[in-house]
Amino acid sequence: MIDPLTALAAVKGGIAAGKQLHSMSKEIAGFFDSVDDAKKTHEKKKNSVFASANEEAMDTFMKKQAAIDAEAQLRELIIATRGYSAYQELLKLRKEIRIERKERERKERKEKEEMQETVAIVFVGLLLAILLITAILVYFELLDLRELFG
């Protein structure tokens, strides 16, 4: 994933070259993805049991701050070129997409868990069937031995 400042530079470069914001949706989406990734990485490192190294903590903190600064610059850029309402619309859309993504991830996790449960149930069922068949065969084999020696 690219860092937020590189993604912001791509957006600024496109605007400077005369591109319209609506034609730069991929660049803007990449920017927001990189900002979210930087924030998420910082939270993971911050809450990690192994995050005792000050250098690593400072690195993730600085990346998160750079992402916040870049986000503020993009906000100013969009407000300056399209107005405050356009920026609010972008934030609303971003929030909706984030909610949809989380819901999709939750559904995928649930489906995976259900599949694992189904596989476990089928496996246990097959194991029980094999044990039952083996027990029946052993029982009949013992009956045959009793008749032979009986």
User: CA 61 to CA 58: how far, in whole Å?
Assistant: 5
Which of 62, 93, 77 lies closest to 8, judged by CA?
77
Given the structure tokens 């596989």, which residue do they identify?
119
Mean pLDDT of 58-78: 84
pLDDT tier at 26, thresholds 50, 70, 90: confident
Q: Is residue 146 predicted with pLDDT exceeding 90?
A: no
What pTM value is reported for the model? Answer: 0.54
Name the DSSP class of 2: -
Least confidently predicted of 34-43, 44-53, 94-103:
44-53
